Amino acid sequence: MKGRYQSLAASGAALCLTAVTLTGCGAVGGLTGDNEVTLRVVAADYGDNPQNSSAAYWKGLADGFEKDHPGIKVEVDVYSWSEVDAKVADMVKAGKAPDIAQIGAYADYAAAGKLYSTAELLSVKTEADFLAPLADAGKVKQAQYGMPFVSSTRLLFYNEKLLADAGVIGKDAKGWQPKSWAELEAAAKKLKGAGVPTPFALPLGREEAQAETMMWMLAGGGGYTDNEEGYAIDSADNVKSLEFLRDKMVGQGLTGPVEPGKLDRQAAFEAFTKGEVGMLNGHPTLMKQAEAKGVKFGMVPLPTSDGSPQPAMGVADWVMAFKNGHRAESGKFLDYLYQPKNVTAFTEKYDLLPATTSGYLAKQGATSGSAVQLKPFLTALPSSRLYPAGKKSWAGVSEDIKQNIGKAVQPGGQPAKVLEEIATAARAADPR
């Protein structure tokens, strides 16, 4: 979820904290006394201001863990999403990797042999509690190294007033459940006819083009990988999905005045909250943004090419433990981190989805608060498909998609050619 929360991340210097005192930033984990071990943890900030910074959560977690585990101290550095991955990379390069990192990707470190596997770290109970699709996404060559921290899925958001005014739905704004792309196209045409500036926002700009692309690929019966987890970016289904976007959405002027390849997701979100967008794909953050501006909205699964059910896209952030000689201590801390009460405390604070079965069941049974609004996202989670995060090559492939996918859907674009070029480079970077 890194891309989603970069716009919320606190800027500037790291928020450094220690479970015992607020001093000692930059200390390297090690022995600090008579057989006392200090674990160094680096985490990302999910807050958008100092008042709701993730630093408070991690300090409370560290305090609680230390109380239950004498002899193990925990120091946590919290950095904004815009810098946390680079900070950890620099620490690893300098030979001072943290014991535990909560960041956006793990595959490079796993491939380099720098991480403990979950089997080496966690209790059987904790390891078995991860939701299956998230646990699978944390594997490299069948061994799990990435531990999913929090997750999210995507849904189609629509502005109830705009759709009602355009005659897409009744004035009571109830019961719209489009199943196919043909229904989506028809709704977008009505919105255009009613003067809506952007009937359907299609953000294929650099911020998160890889996510928007994957959603459409999945809805078209394809995806980035095949059943054997090899890259299938240029599959016939994927080509057809982008041809639909080029011909039916962009080609008919249904995606607004900004070229999709130049439209970032947050800009699309902001336009939705201003009442300028009829429909777009979104995640839970958009709920709060729209509510704050008084926009009445509905949420449904993204329609598919032929109306048949297809998996939604899921996204996860990751926790990993570096081989620093503190395997047992790191394992104890991670078991504590993934206790249901601690998982729930974090997901409720930031309106995110849990990565564990116990957390999922707790939210599924909720009858009040934001958990009720999150249920449509929650329902899609168990069968969702995630990025091929276990591939060391994925970071480069994702960047390639961000730079080039917008060209495929512009008038005169060549989806087959663009996807073939991306796929060829991906396969070269990931020989099987």
Q: What local confidence, expressed as pLDDT, does residue 23 receive?
A: 32
Residues 6+ apart with CB under 8 A from 154: 211, 215, 281, 282, 283, 302, 312, 313, 315, 377, 380
Residue 388 falls within a domain, yes or no? Answer: no
66-83: pLDDT as tens digits: 999 999 999 999 999 879
Whether residue 52 is found in the same domain as residue 117: yes
Whether residue 68 is found in the same domain as residue 91: yes
Q: How confident is the model at residue 52 (pLDDT cuts 50, 70, 90)?
A: confident
In 3-state terms, what secondary structure has residue 198?
strand
Q: What local confidence, expressed as pLDDT, does residue 370 receive?
A: 66
Cβ-based burial of 64 (10 A; exposed 0-12, middle 13-18, buried ≥19): middle
Whether residue 358 is found in the same domain as residue 253: no
Whether residue 397 is found in the same domain as residue 268: yes
Whether residue 368 is found in the same domain as residue 413: no
Please give the DSSP secondary-structure letter assigned to residue 302.
Answer: P
Whether residue 30 is found in the same domain as residue 71: yes
User: What tokens appear for 133 in the block?
Assistant: 């699709």
Residue 259 falls within a domain, yes or no? Answer: yes
Please give the DSSP secondary-structure letter assigned to residue 245.
Answer: I
The answer to whether residue 8 scores a pLDDT higher than 50 is: no
Higher per-residue confidence, 50 vs 367: 50
Average pLDDT, integer, range 251-264:
97
Percentage, residues of the chain above pLDDT 70 = 90
Range name among 124-128, 162-166, 282-286 with the lowest pLDDT average: 282-286
Residues 6+ apart with CB under 8 A from 124: none
* Residue 419 near residue 226 (C-beta atoms within 8 A): no
State the pTM of this model.
0.80
Whether residue 236 is found in the same domain as residue 96: no
What are the CA-CA distances from residue 291 to residues 294, 296, 297, 355, 371 (Å)? 5, 7, 9, 26, 15
Whether residue 146 is found in the same domain as residue 188: no
Sign of CA dihedral 348, 352, 357, 361: positive
Strand partners, 200: 279
Domain count, the chain: 2
Angle between helices 357-364 and 370-380 (to 10 degrees): 130
Whether residue 411 is found in the same domain as residue 363: no
304-317: pLDDT as tens digits: 999 999 999 998 99
Residue 385 falls within a domain, yes or no? Answer: no
Average pLDDT, integer, range 136-158:
93
- Nearest-angstrom CA–CA distance, 208 and 36: 43
Residue listed under structure tokens 């989805």: 353
- Nearest-angstrom CA–CA distance, 386 and 394: 12
Whether residue 253 is found in the same domain as residue 197: yes
* Residue 248 near residue 238 (C-beta atoms within 8 A): no
The answer to whether residue 39 scores a pLDDT higher than 50 is: yes
Residues 6+ apart with CB under 8 A from 271: 197, 198, 201, 256, 277
User: What tokens appear for 147 in the block?
Assistant: 């531990």
Residue 270 falls within a domain, yes or no? Answer: yes
Q: Which amino acid is at 432?
A: R
Whether residue 261 is found in the same domain as residue 402: yes
Do the bridges between strand 72-80 and strand 37-45 make them parallel or antiparallel, or are there none, so unpaired? parallel
The answer to whether residue 273 scores a pLDDT higher than 50 is: yes
What are the CA-CA distances from residue 156 to residues 169, 212, 422 (Å)? 15, 11, 27
Whether residue 375 is found in the same domain as residue 343: yes
The answer to whether residue 424 scores a pLDDT higher than 70 is: yes
Residue 387 falls within a domain, yes or no? Answer: no
Residue 264 falls within a domain, yes or no? Answer: yes
State the residue range of the domain holding 49. 2-153+315-380
Q: What is the CATH number of the domain that holds 330?
A: 3.40.190.10
User: What tokens appear for 298 in the block?
Assistant: 């509905």
Q: What local confidence, expressed as pLDDT, does residue 5 receive?
A: 35
Do the bridges between strand 100-103 and strand 297-300 make them parallel or antiparallel, or are there none, so unpaired? unpaired
* Residue 374 near residue 348 (C-beta atoms within 8 A): no
